[in-house]
Amino acid sequence: MSGREGIGAAVERKEDRRFLVGKGRYTDDLQLPGQSFGVFVRSPHAHAAIRSIGVERAAGAPGVLAVLTGEQVAADGLGTIPCGWQIKNKDGSVMVEPPHPALALGKVRHVGDPVVLVVAEARAQAREAAQLVEVEYEPLPAVSHLGAAAAAGAPLVWDEAPGNVCFDWHLGDAAAVDAAFARAARVVRLDLVNNRVAPNAIEPRAANGHYDAVEDRYTLYTTSQNPHLTRLLLGAFTLKVPEHRLRVVAPDVGGGFGSKIFHYAEELLVLWASRRVGRPVKWTAERSEAFLSDAHGRDHLSHAELALDAGGKFLGLRVRTLANMGAYLSTFAPAIPTYLYATLLSGPYVIPAIYAEVQAIFSHTVPVDAVRGAGRPEASYLLERLVDRAAREMGIDRVELRRRNFVPTDAFPYQTPVALQYDTGDYHATLDLALGAIDYERFAERRAASEARGKLRGFGVSTYIEACGIAPSALVGALGARAGLYESATVRVNPTGSVTVFTGSHSHGQGHETTFAQLVVEKLGVPLAQVEVVHGDTDRIPFGMGTYGSRSAAVGGSALYKAMDKIVEKGRKIAAHLLEASVADVEFADGKFRVAGTDREKGFGEVAFAAYVPHNYPIETVEPGLEESAFYDPKNFTFPAGCHAVEVEVDPETGVVQVVEAAIADDVGVVINPMIVDGQAHGGLAHGIGQALYEECVYDSDGQLASGSFMSYCMPRAADLPMFRTGNHATPCTHNPIGVKGVGEVGAIGVPPAVINAVLDALAPLGVTHIDMPATPEKVWRAVRAAQGGGR
């Protein structure tokens, strides 16, 4: 029943009312009876031995309930923070997986490493007492920059990881790539930095732990994207309590961008501390604390080589990447620069041979894990920069070079040489759409107009592919995942026909309360106002895997479809009884069960009522009630793709870059809600422009995070962004029942290379051929000076 409220309708977000009137309920809003507060003492050193911890003065301070150290954590038998993915080295051995104690034991390994937890009656008291904790450190040599950490003789983060190597992994056929390079007419080379970024969700992380001694039960309220995963890891590895005695609630969550997927030490520690002090314990990160304790993203150094024939056809790609893991392995860290990166290196192109080597390196920095895009932005950036360089070196138009190498529209399903099989796509269509929207034909006129104003104008394009809804479980298990990657849904049809959906997906800004309800409208014909979507509470929802990797519509939505199929099947049996017809003759459409070819029908609400008041009912063969659950394990990823085109103006005097036009065309399959899809694209674009021009976690040589606040870490603001023009061209996904692909990360993946390609296009007349992200004014100014012989 596509229409006013179903699939394709731009209905307003149901959840927004509570946010707009300031009534969202976030973790920090929850004040439990007897609430106490936790504050962490964190390491000021990047690497140091802990000689002693003096807690007496803090313990005696007003309001203090406990001062807890790593030794107490270990003495109480709590586990270390586990990693959820194991990578195998080239030689078949497994990666180095050092312990990750919840509170430091003996040594600290990055600035911000938690050392002591102080619990007090009031937050201010806990803060003041934290100042009184006396930790005696013996500073040790530290290394934070990726290149330095990988260099011979670098200080070691872990004795068991010589050379700081966590793993040394590869993918693809090296011999085939060598052969391709041997017959190439041209080889294009590039060294690239993919800058380290901080996730910076509006709501900092928070956790409120409550141990109920009467019930012997723990409840954790936390800013999580996947409460069941947190419960699983708490139950099995860290708190070590059977899951039926653990409830994890992720209430309203103000953004995550990947950083709230992981199980963090603070979640374990507030629960444990609550048991020790007999009161709920709440911790909420300060913004500067978030910079030092939320997992960061990206941080790659890569060398890439593309082999082409004389006509510009791609023959082979060779990539060598160093990826920073930080000091400890975060939950999904090893998967990001491997299976979410190297598998994407074919992009939307036919590249017959690809070989990638990835070394993951420990450093004395905050752990690195998924941030919006997670591996896929790094792949798309590398490939799209390389394609532009090839076009320039070979004198082929960059749009034309892309067209020449696209996977042909009639070649799907298309098997890449790096494991993935793309189900559908039409890369020419999205390219045409974006170029039309930005009026590419008339770029020269706009460039001349900018020049007249003393500005250099550049055009940049990227054609990207993404893989969302990582699956199926058996495959990811074989690749090292220690979790399944399905999703769950329960559909409860209430007696009067309204519907409550319980989903394992988690919404922290994506609008699931609206789009999932639209799926119910579509399938069951129930009005939107009659649908409620419940998520985020392990006591209420079925076991689910949560939200990341733009999986919710494709995997969570499909689980919901599966559960609704069961509702319809049962409803047909009930309706057949009520209509005195055979089940085979009863059809369901537009919210009505109808005997085929007649006008005899029963409304959805009537059938629901009969299920709960089964007076006239096929009780011998059909159970009362109308509630069904389903788990959906996808057959494949979904593959959103598209074209992002931008224009920038560069001020050659100051180096300031302004993005002045951005037109994107994405293929996200069937669109459930065009307004939400647009909003997701807008957010992703802002994120991508942020990485390209402004954002970077900069560590100094002592391992201090020099950009550890919004004074020095530059986030994009509205005035930095142009009006976005968005377009869609759908090739429906062939293997999920909705035909949907993911949208939540597209902007962060497609736009950074488009922006840098545009900056380089603008600077080409001045002789600049390379710049790394973020293209800050200083970096641009220096690049211009260097190209013109002015030195750096």
Which residues contact ligand MCN (rule: CB under 6 A)?
Answer: 201, 255-258, 372, 508-512, 515, 547-554, 668-673, 676-677, 680, 683, 740-745
Which tokens belong to 630? 């389903």
Q: Measured between alpha carbons, how far is 547 from 392 in angstroms, rounded to an integer?
A: 40
Render the burial of 182-196: b for 16+ CB within 10 Å, e for the rest: eebeebbebebbbbb
Residue 690: CB atoms within 10 A of its CB come to: 25
397 C-beta neighbours (distance < 10 Å), count: 11
Least distance (Å) between residue 738 CB and ligand MCN: 8
Closest CB 557 distance from ligand MCN, rounded Å:
6
Closer to ligand MCN by CB, 43 or 430: give it. Answer: 430
Q: How far is the CB of 754 from ligand MCN (least distance, A)?
A: 19
Cα–chain center distance at 76: 34
CB 695 within 8 A of CB 757: no
Contact 260, 223 (CB under 8 A): yes
Name the residue nearer to ligand MCN (CB basis): 209 or 258: 258
Q: Which is nearer to ligand MCN, 172 or 256 (CB)?
A: 256
DSSP, res 407? P
Q: Which is nearer to ligand MCN, 675 or 764 (CB)?
A: 675
Q: Which is nearer to ligand MCN, 172 or 469 (CB)?
A: 469
Residue 505 CB-half CA count within 13 A: 27
The residue (of 337 and 549) whose beta carbon lies closer to ligand MCN is: 549
Q: Which of residues 513 and 601 has its CB atom nearest to ligand MCN in the complex?
A: 513
Q: How far is the CB of 775 from ligand MCN (least distance, A)?
A: 23
Q: Closest separation between CB of residue 303 and ligand MCN, Å?
A: 28
**C-beta of 644: minimal distance to ligand MCN in Å?**
16
Taken in order 178, 411, 423, 348, the sign of the CA dihedral is positive
- Cis status of the peptide bond prior to 227, with omega within 30 of 0: no
Pick the closest to residue 317 from 327, 307, 309 (CA basis): 307
CB of 748 to ligand MCN, least distance (A): 7
CA distance 64 to 129: 7
* DSSP 8-state assignment for residue 740: B
Measure the CA angle with vertex 635, ends 683 and 231; round to 5°: 65
Query: Chain centroid to CA 43: how far?
Result: 28
Q: What's the count of helices (H) and strands (E) in the chain, helices before strands?
A: 20, 28
- Tally the C-alpha atoms within 13 A of residue 156's C-alpha that lie toward its C-beta: 9
CA 23 – CA 151 distance, rounded (Å): 52
Shortest Cβ 14–ligand MCN spacing (Å): 11
Q: How far is the CB of 785 from ligand MCN (least distance, A)?
A: 37
Sign of CA dihedral 3, 7, 13, 15: positive
Nearer residue to ligand MCN within complex by CB, 405 or 550: 550
Beta-bridge partners for 632:
487
Strand partners of residue 218: 211, 246
Kindly tell me which of 369 and 432 has the beta carbon lying closer to ligand MCN.
Answer: 369
If you write DSSP's letter for every residue of 213-253 in order, what string do you get?
A: TTTTEEEEEE--S-HHHHHHHIIIIIS---GGGEEEE--B-
Judged by beta carbon, residue 517 or residue 526, the one nearer ligand MCN is 517
Shortest approach of ligand MCN to residue 11 CB, angstroms?
A: 10
Is 459 within 8 Å of 645 (Cβ atoms)? yes
Cβ-based nearer residue to ligand MCN, 109 or 508: 508
Query: Residue 227 Cβ, how far from ligand MCN at the closest point, in Å?
Result: 15
3-state secondary structure of 368: strand
- Yes or no: say if 366 and 293 are a contact pair by the CB < 8 Å rule: yes
Starting at the earlier edge strand, list the strands of the sheet with 586-589: 586-589, 592-595, 601-603
Closer CB to ligand MCN, 280 or 511, in the complex: 511
Distances (CA, A) of 603 to 325, 520, 567, 609, 630: 56, 15, 14, 10, 24
Residues near 218 by beta carbon (within 8 Å), at least 6 away in sequence: 209, 210, 211, 212, 234, 239, 241, 245, 246, 247, 271, 274, 275
Alpha carbon distance 758, 648 (integer Å)? 6
The nearest distance, CB 218 to ligand MCN, in angstroms, is 26
Closest approach, Cβ 385 to ligand MCN, in A, equals 23
The C-alpha atoms of residue 762 and residue 607 are separated, in whole angstroms, by: 65
From residue 97, alpha-carbon distances to 324, 340, 341, 744 in Å are 14, 20, 21, 31
CB closer to ligand MCN, 346 vs 503: 503
Cβ proximity to ligand MCN, 537 vs 745, nearer residue:
745
By C-beta, is 450 or 636 nearer to ligand MCN?
A: 636
Our CB check for ligand MCN shows the closer of 25 and 51 to be: 25
Neighbours of 700 (CB within 10 A): 12
- When the beta carbons of 504 and 703 are compared against ligand MCN, the nearer one is 504
For residue 687, the minimal CB distance to ligand MCN (Å) is 8
Please, which residue, 280 or 669, has the CB nearer to ligand MCN? 669
For the record, the structure tokens of 608 come out as 């629901």
Report, in Å, the least distance between residue 254 CB and ligand MCN.
8
The sheet carrying 641-650 orders its strands as 456-465, 641-650, 657-667, 724-728
> Least separation, in Å, of the C-beta of 23 and ligand MCN?
18
Smallest gap from Cβ 674 to ligand MCN, in A, equals 7
In angstroms, the CA 565 to CA 561 distance is 6
Q: How far is the CB of 374 from ligand MCN (least distance, A)?
A: 7
